[in-house]
């Protein structure tokens, strides 16, 4: 544990955090932004949910490919872990960035709000990526299913997303993650 993490405040509460898990309560306590505090809770739960989802997906994949040799199956297992990391890391990044800023005494409500907004936008970009990646026809439980036509007030937006090629699905989350990093560099 670092020396900073061992320091105690006057009321006996830990003055800072010592890792990923303790950064969440620390950032929640230190921030004065209500939006950021909501993001700490929602983003943390979503990151946990995605972590469990990808963890179970890897276990399922390993179970289905256990008898196979190395090569393609090893690559697909590694790819699951990599995609999971790229989905979860930007969800926890705003919390880690804000915790670091406050630990260094540079806490700012504007910075906290910006990181929370970018975190929310990243969550939305994951949804956009999932919509873009839906193929026109796919197999579900042995049946070939055709994607339904979008309806409702967002139908034109969903139609545009459906029209994009599936390989473009990682672009929105990648752009938001890059924006998050650039905002951190600019505002710190």
Phi-psi region of 141 (alpha: psi -120 to 50; beta: other; left: phi over 0): left
Mean pLDDT of the chain: 87
155-170: per-residue pLDDT in tens?
Answer: 999 999 999 999 999 9
Buried b (16+ CB within 10 A) or exposed e, 57-75: ebeebeeeeeeeeeeebee
pLDDT at 40 over 70: yes
User: pLDDT value at position 71?
Assistant: 64
Q: Residue 95 in 3-state DSSP?
A: helix
**pLDDT more than 90, % of the chain:** 61
Closest CA to 115 of 102, 129, 126: 102
Torsion of CA 107, 180, 82, 130, to 10 degrees: 130
User: pLDDT value at position 112?
Assistant: 95
Which tokens in the block code for residue 55? 């963890």
Q: State the pLDDT confidence band at 15, using cuts at 50, 70 and 90.
A: low
pLDDT at 11 over 60: no
Pairwise pLDDT comparison (105 vs 117), residue with the higher score = 117
127-147: per-residue pLDDT in tens?
Answer: 999 999 999 888 888 899 998
Q: State the pLDDT confidence band at 73, using cuts at 50, 70 and 90.
A: low
Secondary-structure breakdown of the chain: helix, strand, coil percentages, each rounded to the nearest 5: 70, 5, 25
Which tokens in the block code for residue 186? 């600019």
């Amino acid at each position: 544990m670092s020396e900073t993490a061992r320091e105690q405040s006057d009321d006996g509460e830990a003055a800072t955090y010592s890792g990923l898990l303790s950064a969440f309560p620390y950032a929640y306590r230190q921030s004065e932004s209500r939006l950021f505090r909501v993001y700490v809770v929602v983003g943390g739960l979503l990151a946990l949910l995605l972590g469990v989802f990808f963890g179970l997906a890897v276990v399922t994949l390993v179970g289905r490919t256990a008898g196979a040799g190395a090569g393609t199956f090893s690559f697909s297992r590694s790819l699951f872990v990599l995609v999971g990391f790229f989905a979860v890391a930007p969800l926890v990044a705003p919390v880690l960035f804000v915790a670091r800023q406050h630990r260094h005494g540079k806490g700012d409500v504007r910075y906290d709000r910006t990181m929370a907004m970018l975190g929310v936008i990243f969550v939305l970009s994951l949804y956009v990526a999932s919509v873009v990646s839906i193929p026109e026809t796919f197999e579900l439980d042995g049946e070939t299913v055709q994607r339904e036509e979008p309806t409702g007030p967002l139908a034109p937006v969903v139609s545009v997303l459906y029209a994009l090629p599936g390989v473009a699905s990682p672009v929105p989350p990648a752009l938001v993650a890059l924006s998050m990093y650039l905002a951190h560099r600019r505002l710190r």
